[in-house]
Amino acid sequence: MRFESPATLEDAIHLLANAKGTARVLAGGTDVLVQMRLGLVTPDLVVDIKGIPGMRDITPVDGGYRIGAAVTGAEMGEHAGLKALWPGVVEAMELVGSTQVQGRATMAGNLCNASPAADSVPAMIAADAVATIEGPLGLRLLPVAEVPAGPGKTTLTKGEIITSIFLPARPKHSGDAYLRFIPRTEMDIAVSSAGVSLSLGPDGMVEFARVAIGAVAPTARLVEEAGAALVGTQLDAATLDRMMAAVRAACDPIDDKRGTAEFRTKTAAVMAKRAAKTAFARAGGKS
Amino acid sequence: MSKIHVTTTVNGDTVEYLCEPTETLLDVLRDRLNLTGAKEGCSTGDCGACSVELDGRLVSSCLVLAAEAGGKTVATVEGMAKGENLHILQEKILEHAALQCGVCTPGILVAAKALLAKNPDPTEEEVRFWLAGNLCRCTGYDKIIRAVLDAAAEMRGA
């Protein structure tokens, strides 16, 4: 294995684009090193991107935040402005692993690892986050939901790197939240999960909402019908029932040791309901 | 396979080593630098026995490549005592008998030190949450938590 720590993005892309055999980008390494250790992947080339300018920065842009690909969960949790604007995304990222893992793990890595149960991904999808991808053919922007292609697979092509993730500005009276079901209190992998982002209009009704679910399909997915069900309401019981039905209809989970398909489907809807209520309260909503 | 030359700072000392690209920081600490305080428990970032601080940030050294440590500062459990004088956390772990086999203890000490640097007055829940990634199969955790809270109080001068 060859280890490279390029000082520029151009060098990193060149290394990855011309790599023979298996290449891996190294940011926090909390997935890559585990996979290497378990023999799941034997890279011929590892490219550490942490030395590239901008990768470790959280930058305010157009009222939102650009989060460099090597920014850790711990750094996100310590950023007051980011936490105030997108508390649900930050709380989702902070659920990943232990304090030790938080010191290294990155949101871009969580996305690129492409686990269906990745905690930050439903929250990012609900937030309408956009990944900046740079590669041999230049730069492209891709909604986060379109990055994972299935368990362990992404739509990135050879030589491409996610360089940052953009969390956009949002109107006043907005809130977001992420919840997952696990049988423990921490340090576990989601059995089902949901992220909700919503904004309230001047009348206090939900004006706009996005609901995304995780661990219940090959990739995290946006449930447009669930978001639409919340619009024009203050989350009364009938509304939440309609939203939950839309979530259940969008679930396509597997049975495994963490939970049955039936259990995952049921709890995903419950997570979405509770996350919606939290997001509503954070937006300043009164029901 | 050519070895990588790394210059880094470990417990305040400048250290140089040659490592394989696949070696972890834990491998180098233990096998090349003879700092065997950090332990290999799971080697997959789940147990916390290999905890060290890297540029002041608590990490699992099994999930850091040794080559990544170049130009950084590493703090291990070996740097906690000053000569014969134990760190307050070490004294309190002994006083509370908060260990049995001891394999998790170095990681817990490093993790607890990082917590108290960030939060000198943590609640019990905060201590438990912070140390959730440090597994102990002997003590049942209570004595560890009490030792950390006691150390925190003493360090605050309470």
Task: For residue B94, give the CATH number of its domain.
Answer: 1.10.150.120
- All residues of chain B having their beta carbon less than 8 Å from the beta carbon of residue A101 are 45, 60, 63, 133
Q: Do A100 and B70 touch (CB under 8 A)?
A: no
CA B131 from centroid of its chain's CA atoms: 11
CA distance B59 to chain A (A): 4
Nearest CA in chain B to A30: B63
Average pLDDT over residues B121-132: 97
A56 at interface of B, judged by CB pairs closer than 8 A: no
Q: Which of B79, B107, B136 is the last residue of a domain?
A: B79
Q: Where are the alpha helices (DSSP H) in A86-205?
A: 87-94, 99-102, 107-112, 120-126
* pLDDT of A226: 98
One domain for residues B69 and B129: no
Q: Do B64 and A29 touch (CB under 8 A)?
A: yes
One domain for residues B75 and B97: no
One domain for residues B11 and B70: yes
Q: Do B21 and A101 touch (CB under 8 A)?
A: no
* Closest listed residue to residue A65, CA positions, set A91, A97, A87, A95: A87
Check: CB of residue A194 under 8 Å from CB of residue A178. Answer: yes
One domain for residues B72 and B113: no
pTM score:
0.96
Q: Which of B48, B79, B110 is the last residue of a domain?
A: B79
* pLDDT of B102: 96
Q: Which domain holds residue B145?
A: 88-155
Check: CB of residue A245 under 8 Å from CB of residue A142. Answer: no
Mutate to test the interface with A, among B18, B27, B42, B60 (most CBs of A within 10 A): B60
One domain for residues B94 and B148: yes
Q: Which residues of B touch A (CB under 8 A)?
A: 1, 4, 21-22, 24, 43-46, 48, 51, 54, 57-60, 62-65, 67-68, 70, 111, 114-115, 129-134
A9-45 residue pLDDT tens: 999 999 999 999 999 999 999 999 999 999 999 999 9
Number of domains in chain B: 2
Q: Do B129 and A98 touch (CB under 8 A)?
A: no
Which parts of chain A have pLDDT scores under 70?
none
One domain for residues B93 and B57: no
Burial of B44 (C-beta count, 10 Å sphere; 0-12/13-18/19+): middle
Check: CB of residue A192 under 8 Å from CB of residue A255. Answer: no
Nearest to B133 among A5, A74, A98 (CB): A98
Please state the φ and ψ torsions of residue A14, each to the nearest 5 degrees.
-60, -45
Q: Which residue has the tokens 């419950």?
A: A270
* Closest listed residue to residue B148, CA positions, set B82, B104, B76, B96: B96
Strand order in the sheet with A138-143: A58-61, A64-68, A161-167, A130-135, A138-143
What is the C-alpha separation between B32 and B90, in angstroms, rounded?
A: 25
Arithmetic mean of pLDDT over chain B: 97
Q: Is it the case that residue B1 has pLDDT exceeding 70? A: no
Per-window interface: A 97-116 vs B, CB < 8 A: 97-101, 103-104
- All residues of chain A having their beta carbon less than 8 Å from the beta carbon of residue B4 are 3
One domain for residues B38 and B103: no
* pLDDT of B66: 98
* pLDDT of A285: 85
Q: Do A187 and B21 touch (CB under 8 A)?
A: no
Nearest CA in chain B to A51: B68
A26 at interface of B, judged by CB pairs closer than 8 A: yes
One domain for residues B63 and B114: no
* Strands annotated E in chain A: 2-4, 23-26, 45-48, 58-61, 64-68, 130-135, 138-143, 148-150, 153-154, 161-167, 174-181, 192-200, 206-214, 221-222
Q: Which of B52, B79, B106 is the last residue of a domain?
A: B79
* pLDDT of B84: 94
Mutate to test the interface with B, among A35, A47, A98 (most CBs of B within 10 A): A98
For A19, residues 6+ apart whose C-beta sits below 8 A from its C-beta are: A44, A45, A158
Q: Do B45 and A48 touch (CB under 8 A)?
A: no
One domain for residues B42 and B104: no
Q: Is it the case that residue B50 has pLDDT exceeding 70? A: yes
Domains and CATH numbers, chain A: 1-47 (no CATH), 174-282 (3.30.390.50)
A3 at interface of B, judged by CB pairs closer than 8 A: yes
Average pLDDT over residues B102-113: 98
A5 at interface of B, judged by CB pairs closer than 8 A: yes
CATH code of B32's domain: 3.10.20.30
One domain for residues B34 and B59: yes
Q: Is it the case that residue B2 has pLDDT exceeding 90? A: no
One domain for residues B64 and B25: yes
Residue B87 one-letter amino acid = H
The β-bridge relationship of strands A153-154 and A23-26 is unpaired
* pLDDT of A240: 98
B131-141 residue pLDDT tens: 999 999 999 99
One domain for residues B71 and B129: no
